[in-house]
Each structure stands twice: as C-alpha cells, then as structure tokens.
Structure 1
Amino acid sequence: MSTLTAIRQGRQGYWLSTPALALYLGLLVIPLLLTLVLSFNVFDYSSGIDGDAYTLDHYSSLLGDSYFYEIFLRTFWISALTTLLCVVIGVPEAYILSRMGAPWRSIFLILILTPLLISVVVRAFGWSLLLGADGLVNQTLQAFGGSPMKLLYTPFAVVIALVHVMLPFMIIPVWTSLQKLDPAAEQAALSLGASQLTVIRKVVLPQIMPGVLSGTLIVFGLAASSFAIPGLLGGRRLKMVATLIYDQYLSELNWPMGAAIAVALLLLNLLIMLSWNRMIEGRYKKSLG
C-alpha cells in the first residue's frame, strides 16, 4: 500500500512539473534548436535564406576569419576583467554587509538591489553622459587644469558600466553564503591567536567559495552576452559578439550567419563556464578535505 502511494505521489510530482517543463521547452529549448537549424541554412544576398538547403559555410567562415577571432577574444577578456573586478569589489562588500547590524544591513541591501530596478539602457545612457567628451568626468579634469580624455567608446567605458550593472549579481550569492557561516568559527580562530587576515583566508574564504563561484558564473555569462552596454558605450568600432550578431541579423540580414555566431558564443560560454566550475569545485573540495 505504501509502495502504491509513493508511485502515485511520484506521478503527481511529474504532472505538477509539466507546466514548468512546457515553459522551459517553449521558451528555451525550441528557440535554441531553431537557431541551430537556421545556422546551417544557405544564404544568398540576392535570394535570401533557403530553408531547404543546408551548408557549413557559415561555420567555416567563422573559423577561418581573424576578424571573428578578434571580436570573440575582445568579448571574453572584457567579460573576464569585469568578473575579476566584481570579485575584488563584491566579496569585501558582501562581507561588510553581512557584519552590519539592523537597520543598516537592510538599508544597504536595498541600495545594492535598487539599480536592478532601473533599465540597463538607462544606466548605459547615464554612463555615456558621465564619460562623454563634455561629460562630468572631463569637465572635472578640465576644472583641475587637466586635458580632456577619450573615455567613451573605449574598453574602459564598457568595463566600468558592466561592473556597475553586474556587481549585485556577485554580491548577493556571496552574501547568501556568508549567512550560513557561523561567527563562532571566526571567534574561535581569533581566540587561538590567528590574525584577522588569516581568519579571512583560512576560515571565511573556503566557506564562501560556492557563492563566489555562483557569482563569477553569472557575471561572466551575462557580461559575455551583454548587448546594450557594448552597443551604446562601445560604439561601432568596439564590437563585441552580441553587437556582431545584431549587425548580422538587422544590418546584413544574414540570419544564418548571425545564428552561427550565436551558437558559437553559447558553446564557448558553456565550455569556459563548465571548465571554471570544475576547477573551482575541485579546489574547494580539496581545501575542505
């Protein structure tokens, strides 16, 4: 009787998860499969897309042209630098936040989350006003006797805006991990003569590595696929992969090539993120063992 009840409960669980699975298939899996199929379709500028003919020319062009290598390399080093800066800024900020008492913890947590309520496009325009030739930064430099600098449409502008946008996605996972950390462990280490730096390095950091790992994966993935900030702050010359896909779809009207670039970005993103996840998890388990 108990076995039959368990089977029925298991079937009910599957039925209850059906709407979520249908949503997952309809909004993620099927569009990705259609994009994959589109990337193999033949394209001609005179006749357009031939849905009945397939080719590998788009992938061969992608692999054989140094222009695409340069854009992918730029995308990934900007994403890696953004992730590194988010770790350097976000981890100490999350640690300080976790040590705050009420009501300051809630106030600063709201301040951290508030930028997420503002559109990325609006924030990108805000940075363009700050970093432009006549922006506040250059006006301040000139007021102190300096000369204006070219900040807009540079990697600096893209990185600083991406850090601003992505920082909450680093702070929240680390802060969540810190909530599970027992303060008594730190006090015990301090009472045994360990310095505060040693406590952070030997006690705190190993415990929050899952949060740091989650934050780095989220930040890197979002930065590598970001479109609004590179498009508005990078300009036409500083292309990243997302803006290149946009150009292929809407400027060149070469949808199969745009789909091939999108598939390549997805696969490379997965490869980098899975490799990073495996390396950090291995070190984390080794440190605990």
Structure 2
Amino acid sequence: MNGRSNLTPALLAAPSLVVYAGALLLPLGGVLLLSLHGFDFEKGILPGWGLENYRDLLTDSLFAESLLRTLRIALWTTAICLLVGVPEAWIIYRMAPRWRGAMLLIVVGPLLVSVVVRNFGWMVLLGTTGLVNQVLTILGVPGAPFRLMFTELAVVIGLVHVMVPLVVLSVWASLGRLDPVLERAAFSLGASRLTVFRRVVLPNVMPGIMAGALMVFCLSASAFATPAMLGGKRLKVVSSMTYNEFLNTLNWPLGAALATLLMVAILTATLIWTRFVETRAMCRLGEVAEGGKGGSRA
C-alpha cells in the first residue's frame, strides 16, 4: 500500500513530464548534438563530431564582446525594471479598488502591442530628429541632438518598456498575499511609511521581486527583436549572432553552439542568483530564530 502511494505523485506528474520532454528537452538535445558537428561551405554539415565550434567561439574576441554586452544589457534592464516596477506595484496596490483595474490595464498595455510596432515607435522617438532629441534641443541641452538610436541605451529602453509589467505583476501577486494586519501593527508602534515599506512590506514581497528579476534577466539576455531593431547590425548580441549564423551564413552547427553557450550563460547566472537568494533567506531566517530565542529567554 505504501509503495503504491509513493508512486502516485510520479504517475500524476508523468503526462506533464512527457510533454515537457517532447516540447523542450528533445529540441534542446537536438541543438546540442547539432553544435558538435563540423561545417564546410561547400559540403554543408559534416558528419563528424567534435568541439571545434566551442573552441572557436571561446577564443573569439567578437563572441566574448557580444556575450559581455548581452549580459550587461540584461543586468541594466533588470535593475531599472526593479527600480520602476516595485514602487509602481506598491502604488497600484494602495489605490482605491475602482482605479486598480484601469492602472493594471495601462501597465500591461505594452504586452498587448506587437514587438515590431513597439520598437518602431521607439525608433521614431529616439531618432536624430525624433521627439526626444527635439525636446532636448528646445531645452538647450548642450550637445543635442544626441545619437540615441543603435546604442545600448536604446536597447535597454526598449526592453524596459516591455519588461516592467513582468515585475509589476510578479510583485502584485506577492502583495496580494500580504497580511494588512502587519502594516497596521507597524503603524501602531510608531513606524513611518518608509520604515513600514522597508521593514515589513519589502521582506514579504521579496519572493515576487526575485522571481520578476529572474524573468526579466532571462528574457532580456535572450531577446532578439529589440536588439536587432534598436541596436542595429553593428551592436552585436549573442541572439543576433545566432540568427546570422543560422539564416545568413547557414552555418547551423556554429549557430547551435552559440545558442548553447547563451543558454549555459543564462542558466549559470540563474543558479548563482538563486543560490544568492537562498543564502540571504537562510541568513534572515537564522536572525529571526536567534531573535525569537533571545526574546523567549528575556
């Protein structure tokens, strides 16, 4: 009887595992195997196996520069999204119920617009004769008009525009589980609004913040359309290099190696981030436990 009960969770999860393996693991395995093949411009994909593609990429300064640029853009996008999204979610949470729905619809609006249309809008705004440069010129800012298009700044702006809603929704879900009694208790003890937000609200919504940051980082590091349109051909990121190898030079094994290395870099950053979060959480739990013991001894 115990053996059957132990197998029940595995049997219930089996259908989802099969779908997961068929939709994700098998294609990823195919990309990994493809990256181990050689390539010749006359013969195409060679039948042999080897690590030449990875050796060429890891010794290529252009790939190293593109990878660092990709991670830098993703980190800047994540930081700005957190600075904007967390207070925004808190403000919406404190609004009257009749305004929350409208504000959430406005926040989620960028997700409802095509990425191409959205990026074309930013191209119009950030161009040399665009609205942003026109305003800066009218204000008499020294050096205006600036070269904003085809820069990392333009890519970060385009990514932040669409990634902020992910942080807002993630933090909003955590705020929905926040007990209002905790805030009222803090106010009754004389805490200011800033102290309540920093010492009560922020620790309780930290899981939502971490989840939103992780989603933004992964999606920003693997984004293709926004860097391609707002960054141009000269601003290389790993996703655009992968696209070029697959569809322009037709060197599929090298493109597969690029995709694999990008996935490994993102997974490594994710594991480091998760480990950091777990360490901080365990330290905080330890502090809380020690405080509780001290209070009981007192």
Query: Normalization by structure 2: what TM-score?
Result: 0.90
1:38 to 29, 34, 37: 34
- 2: CA distance, partners of 1:134 / 1:157: 15
Q: Could you tell me the TM-score, scaled by structure 1's length?
A: 0.92
Deviations 1:41-96 (A, max 9, x none): 0111121101x211211000111111111100000011001000000000000111
- In structure 1, the residue corresponding to 2:191 is in which secondary structure? coil
Deviation at 1:5, TM superposition (A): 12
Aligned-residue offset at 1:141: 2.7
Within the alignment, does 1:102 sit opposite 2:97 as a pair? yes
AA aligned to 1:44 is D
Distance 1:79 1:4 in 2: 48
Deviation at 1:145, TM superposition (A): 4.4
Alignment deviations for residues 209-230 of structure 1 (CA, whole Å, 9 cap, x no partner): 1001100110000000000000
Q: Shift of residue 198 of structure 1?
A: 1.8
How many angstroms apart in 2 are the aligned matches of 1:234 and 1:16? 43
Describe the shift of the 1:202–1:8 C-alpha distance in structure 2 as closer, same or farther (beyond 3 A): closer
Displacement of 1:257 after TM fit?
A: 0.7
Contact kept, 8 Å, 1:173 with 1:214, in 2: the verdict is yes
Alpha-carbon shift at residue 10 of structure 1 (Å): 2.5
**Aligned to 2:8, which of 7, 10, 24?**
10
In structure 2, what is the Cα distance between the partners aligned to 1:16 and 1:77? 38
233, 242, 248: which is aligned to 1:236? 233
CA RMSD of aligned residues (A): 2.0
Which is worse superposed, 20-29 or 154-163?
A: 20-29
Shift of residue 27, structure 1, vs aligned partner = 1.9
Q: 1:8: Cα distance to partner?
A: 11
Aligned to 1:103, the other structure's residue is in SS state helix
What runs of 5+ residues in structure 2 fail to find an aligned partner? 289-298
- The CA distance in 1 between the partners of 2:226 and 2:234, in whole Å, is 14
Give 1:4 deviation, angstroms.
8.9
Shift of 1:155: 0.7
The 5 Å alignment of 1:208-223 reads: 208-223=205-220
The CA distance in 2 between the partners of 1:122 and 1:110, in whole Å, is: 19
Matches within 5 A, 1:177-188: 177-188=174-185
Match of 2:53 in 1: 58
Q: Distance in 1 between matches of 2:139 and 2:78?
A: 33
Corresponding position of 1:164: 161
Percent of matched pairs sharing the same residue:
47
Select the residue among 125, 132, 137 that pairs with 1:137: 132
AA matched with 1:277: T
Q: 1:132 to 1:204 in 2, by over 3 A?
A: same
